[in-house]
Structure 1
Amino acid sequence: MSPAVFRLALAGALLFACTPALAVRVQQVRIEGLHDPAIEANVRSALSLEAELDKELRPRRLAYLLRVAQDETRTALEPFGYYTPTITLTRSDRRGSASTEPDADEEDTPDDAATTDVASGGEKSASTLDDADADSTRADPTARGTIRGRADALTITLTITLGPPVRVRGFDLGIDGAASADASVAAAVAQFHPRAGEVLNHALYEDGKARIGRALTEHGWFDARMAEHRVEVTRAAQAADLALRWSSGQRYTLGDVRFNQTPEPFLRDALLHKLVRWQPGTPFDQAELERLRSALVALDYFALVDVQAAPEQAVDRTTPVLVELTPAKRSIYSLGLSYATLDGPGISAGVERRYLNARGHKALAQIDWARLRKTVTLQYRIPAFAWLDGWYTASLQASDELTDYVNSRRLELVASRSGQVNDHLNVVASLHLLRERWAYRTILKPVEEFRFASFLFPALQAEYIDVDDRMAPRRGMGASLILRGGKGGSSGDASFAQLYLSGQWFHGLDADSRLIARGELGHTFTDDVLDLPPSLRFYAGGDRSVRGYGWHEIGPRIVTSGGDYFTGAPNLLTASLEYERYFNGPWGAAVFVDTGSAFDGRRPDMHTGIGIGLRWRSPVGPVRIDIAHGLNAPDSPVTLHLNIGADL
């Protein structure tokens, strides 16, 4: 071989030897042996490999990631109480070849007691080195199975045997000081986990510690400090010793409330101070501040309500309460269009003044005008804070209804007092003066002459709502009870007493479906229900009653040659069960069965309807379009029902 050829061959060999191995790519990381999704999710969040999926990696970078994967997995398992797992790491490429990485040297883990600070939270993940640091790590590309010429696609499998969990052995938890006698604080201490004999779950530990801290703060123990905070884990014994104690100090009291209305005051402070239910010197309770905030929000005067205690400004442990208020827009204007099968097209318009004066009075005017139904409402409200937060209300409503079978005009004056008993229950006591004129009619002439009736009667209404979401509930119930009765009629001799109860129950089956049950029950004590005006009778059929039947068509009727005229009844019974499921974003469907009747006597003539519906979570609220068919007559028409708005 000539010297020139030898030199050329030597240069090529050296060049080939110095060429780095081509990149590899981790296509998938599989985790086997874990049956708890929360644990697996925490392991994946800790693995640096997860952030490098489908990226081309240099062999040294891959070698580093594989080496730290076991340490990262161990760290991620510790918050759940598993400190001595067995971890096997296997690499396989697309050709089916596989190799196993040895487990980390367990002798590096001390068997003696180690103190662990978990104050920063339960779940942990290890940090990674950058590429420069990784390149400084020694690795043998050939041993790692890297092939030259193209990126190899690898699947990394972590097989984990958890082993026995660490359990709490020593347990010292308590409050030193006067707060130990506080019922709310004691309840938070009693709910703390993990306790002796339980698995050392760091998330539960942090939740319990935070719950006790909140209870101390919410009851005015602002000087409370942690006197001892210690978690010791002995890996060899699979045991942990906990010591967690607070020194509570003295409880603060509630002081004066300072209202700040910005940009300038528009309501009297005297009005707002009526909402404050405590006297200065009352033991501090965050629930009192929340009740004040809720009462201010319910007034609907303000766009922003911020209620905060200021313990840093306390004098002799009496803390003032600072309330920041920003007014809402003073006037609300509304305009809408409507269409109903019986009423035809219509328009509604209204204006509400959130506050008329510095005393917080409100006013409302609204008109609903359709071809066959017209209603005008005027309302005036005054804040009422004695006994229960609520309103004194005076309202006047005039309505005119003209359908194929009834011609009715009504004028009603109502004076009421509402009261918010608690977060779920609202009660309204009212006095009604009703004047109504009505007649059943055909297209050409009335079936009977107009009748007139005047009634004066008191009423009591209670509304209870306890749901997770007022717009689209998935858990909870709502119910309404109305009691009313009085004397009047065309001759002044008619009397009545009436009970009406309605309710809805919601139960979420999974994230996309729910069951809805609904029912109504009503009874009227009277000699002759036809002596009562139509607005005081019960009806069944139509939207939110028994779908598959026309509006008010279930119940007693007058049969004439000009048609049937539904008179209403003294009794009402309806029930409904609906299954609703959403499939794609805001769109869903429903199936339902309704049954019920408005009836005389003791035996209801139940009418049942079934149907399907389309659901849409629109920006303005749920939209429900239902198609239903009544089962009581084979020739019953298919009915279409449209509802827009919240379920409650």
Structure 2
Amino acid sequence: MMRNHAQAVRALSAALAWAVLLLWSLGALAQPRVEVRLEGIEGELADNVRAYLSLIQSPPDSEAHLRRLYRQAPAEIEQALAALGHYRPRIEPALNPDGEAWVAEFRIDPGPPVRVTRFALTLSGAGAEDRAFRELRGRLPVKEGDVLHHGRYAEAKRSLQNLALARGYFDARFTRSEVRVERGADSAEVILDYDTGPRYRFGAVRFGDSALEESFLRRFVTIEPGDPYLVDRITALQTALVNSDYFAEVNISAPPEEAEGLEVPVRVELVDRRRHKYSFGLGYGTDTGPRASAGWESRRIRRNGERANAQLELSAIRYALTAGYEIPLAKPMSDRLLFQASLRDESTDTAESTSLLLSARRVESLESGWLRDLSLNFLEEYSTVAGEEVDARLLYPAVGWTRVDADDRMRPRRGRRLGLEVKGSDPALGSDARFLQGRVDAKFIEPLGAGGRVLARGNLGATLVEDVESLPASLRFFAGGDQSVRGYGYNELGPENSAGDVIGGRFLLVGSVEYEHRITGNWSAAAFYDVGNALDDWDGELKQGVGAGLRWQSPVGPIRVDLAVAVSEPGTPLRLHFNMGPDL
């Protein structure tokens, strides 16, 4: 008996399911298909009408529904056209069957546009004297003589409200906002009365818990209690704290509802990053061969923001071990002291060297956008160039300036990198040689067409020294390689001795121009021309190289593969160049 009852329930459930499916199928078959045709309008007018039409936005599910939407369509078209300034349209609708579908056709004459004959904006409150509001007035999208556009009218109102919020006018409101349309005259008056109310000010800045001491955190703060409220000041503080690399999370709030009078308190909540950071890397370059690196950094040696780091680099031609200690100064994001020690060993076809470099540096970001690097360096280097040994000890000051501007640092369409360095020494400082050296490096990227870029770079260097062979290898100029004149080996270009061995030069002159064009996705093709050399005088021969290559914008940065020919050395085989790293 129980079995028969269960079988009956299952049978009834199946029958109901089939019935629902049948009704749904019949409904789907009965759902009318409709095509909407608009004649007489195009562009923005047609797009807006389609956005308003329920026939398009809510397709009918029956013929009765279709006819109801068709009847309300003329009113919807009028609303759509009025929103764009056309208040006297003529609409001829028609609905006809077309086989198994329907065609809803609307012949539309939008009529003459309504133009703004008067735009009156009246500001009251503290914002009436604020220069930002006066400048915004001229940028509002509503102008006398323009066709009335309700979207631009709404945008003008939003612009005023957004500026008020950004500048601390939290009580701002429209006391009057009207659009008066004279249909017969095809004219309109736009009237906005905006009362900004008082301007709020910043209150105290309070920090949450952090492993760093508050006196150090306050070095990032440029906000003083009583300063006029400006959201850009909060954004700048957030950016500075995030970019400092001390914190995993930075949350800043300044809620107007917590204002004490007109002063808004600022709360900064921080989540510290892990104290220690480790990094590892693998790579390959034609100049260096396979390479690997490992790094360590302590973000908090002390609670005052001092930190330390160490880096080991290994490749087929060199190894380098560098250790550093950083002391943030009064402005931690733009001014710091660095103490560094670097042990380096390099062996190339041109020279062999082992060096120890000790540096004390002050690195400062200037308001002009340049990064200035002042340093005092002690270099002890033993090198062998063309069989000649040089054992040098040099104490020399140096100053450098660099600047990078780009629309996108990962893949710039337009950008530039400029660098200038001057350094020198004298036996009066306890050095083994007297020299003065300057170097300028520049790279520019400009778009060309929809998918192309032109990349140009130049390197210019000069050394004043009595005998260039008294300088260690690291202070002589060489040319050739992936980042110099392609088609030639790494550092294989320069003045030669009587045996034909390259010994390095007093001067450096290198230029390059490259055109790169995107093929598909992250792949690009490139063609280039390089010219240059290291010289003992400016009349020396400049070597030329030309070639082509592929570029892949990988997740870790650009990877470049080039085939180049040494034009100045006929019969030289093609040389493969492979390197990776940012364009600027």
With the shorter chain as reference, the TM-score category is: 0.7 to 0.9
Cα gap change, 1:558/1:60 in structure 2, threshold over 3 Å: closer, same or farther?
farther
Identity %: 36
Within 5 Å, give how 1:174-189 maps onto structure 2: 174-189=122-137
Distance 1:600 1:34 in 2: 73
Equivalence map 1:7-406=2 (5 Å):
25-26=33-34, 36=43, 41-50=47-56, 58-64=62-68, 66=70, 71-85=75-89, 101-102=93-94, 144-147=96-99, 151-152=100-101, 162-261=110-209, 265-386=210-331, 389-406=334-351
Aligned-partner Cα distance in 1 for 2:496–2:154: 67
Give 5+ residue unaligned stretches, structure 2: 1-27
| Selected match of 1:573 from 490, 510, 521 | 510
**AA of the residue aligned to 2:565:** H
Q: Residue 114 of structure 1 corresponds to which residue in structure 2?
A: none
Mean Cα deviation higher: 595-604 or 300-309: 595-604
Q: Is the 8 Å Cα contact of residues 216 and 224 (structure 1) preserved in structure 2? A: yes
Counterparts of 1:368 and 1:559, CA distance in 2: 35
Q: 1:209 to 1:486 in 2, by over 3 A?
A: farther
Moved more, 241-250 or 227-236: 227-236
**AA partner of residue 527 (structure 2):** V
Distance 1:634 1:598 in 2: 20
Give 1:481 deviation, angstroms.
2.6
Change over 3 Å in CA distance of 1:533–1:213 after alignment to 2 = farther
Kindly provide the CA deviation profile for residues 253-303 of structure 1, in whole angstroms up to 9, marking residues without a partner as x.
Answer: 222110113xxx211011011222243222223332222222212321011
Q: Tell me if the contact between 1:552 and 1:568 (Cα under 8 Å) persists in the aligned partners.
A: no
- Please report how far the alpha carbon of residue 30 of structure 1 lies from its aligned counterpart in structure 2 after TM superposition: 6.4
1:432 partner amino acid: N
1:202-232 deviation line (CA, Å, top 9, x unaligned): 4433333333323322222222222222222
Task: Name which of 369, 381, 395 aligns with 1:436.
Answer: 381
Change (3 A) 1:592 1:378: same
- Whether the aligned pair in 2 keeps the contact of 1:353 and 1:363 (CA below 8 Å) is yes
Number of positions where the alignment pairs a residue of Structure 1 with one of Structure 2: 556
Amino acid at match of 1:191: R
CA distance in 2, matches of 1:624, 1:432: 34
Partner of 2:344, secondary structure, is strand
For residues 400-453 of structure 1, the C-alpha deviation after alignment (integer angstroms, 9 at most, x for no partner) is: 011222111121111112223349433222222222221124xxxxx22x1022
Change (3 A) 1:566 1:530: closer
Query: Residue 615 of structure 1 aligns to which amino acid in structure 2?
Result: R
User: How many angstroms apart in 2 are the aligned matches of 1:514 and 1:234?
Assistant: 53
Q: 1:626 aligns with which of 562, 567, 570?
A: 562
The 3 A distance-change label for structure 1 pair 212 and 356 is same
The question of whether the paired residues in 2 share the 8 Å contact of 1:382 and 1:393 is answered with yes
CA distance in structure 2 between the partners assigned to 1:515 and 1:538 by the alignment: 27
Aligned residue for 1:645?
A: 581
Aligned to 2:405: 466
Q: How does 1:580-619 map to 2 (within 5 A)?
A: 580-583=517-520, 585-603=521-539, 605-619=541-555
Correspondence 1:475 to 2:414 = yes
Structure-1-length-normalised TM-score: 0.77
Q: Which moved more, 1:353-362 or 1:58-67?
A: 58-67
User: Which residue identity does 2:393 align to in structure 1?
Assistant: S
The question of whether the paired residues in 2 share the 8 Å contact of 1:524 and 1:571 is answered with no
String of CA shifts for 1:121-147, please: whole Å, max 9, x gaps: xxxxxxxxxxxxxxxxxxxxxx72344
Contact 1:401/1:408 (8 A) holds in 2: yes
> Secondary structure at 1:329's aligned position in 2?
coil
Shift of 1:306: 2.1
- Partner AA of 1:462 in structure 2: W
Q: Is contact 1:165–1:238 with CA below 8 Å preserved after alignment?
A: yes
Which segment drifts farther, 618-627 or 431-440?
618-627
SS of the equivalent of 2:121 reads strand
The two structures have a TM-score, normalised by structure 2, of 0.85
Residues 406 and 68 of structure 1: is their aligned pair in 2 closer, same or farther, counting only changes over 3 Å?
Answer: farther
- In the other structure, the counterpart of 1:121 is none
Q: Check whether the contact 1:539–1:572 (CA below 8 A) recurs between aligned residues.
A: no
> Would the alpha carbon gap of residues 288 and 202 (structure 1) be closer, same or farther in structure 2, given more than 3 Å must change?
same
Shift in Å, 1:601: 2.5
**Cα shift readout 1:74-132 (whole Å, capped 9, x = no counterpart):** 444444434445566xxxxxxxxxxxx45xxxxxxxxxxxxxxxxxxxxxxxxxxxxxx
The answer to whether 1:487 aligns with 2:411 is: no
1:526 CA drift (Å): 3.4
CA distance in 2, matches of 1:545, 1:63: 74
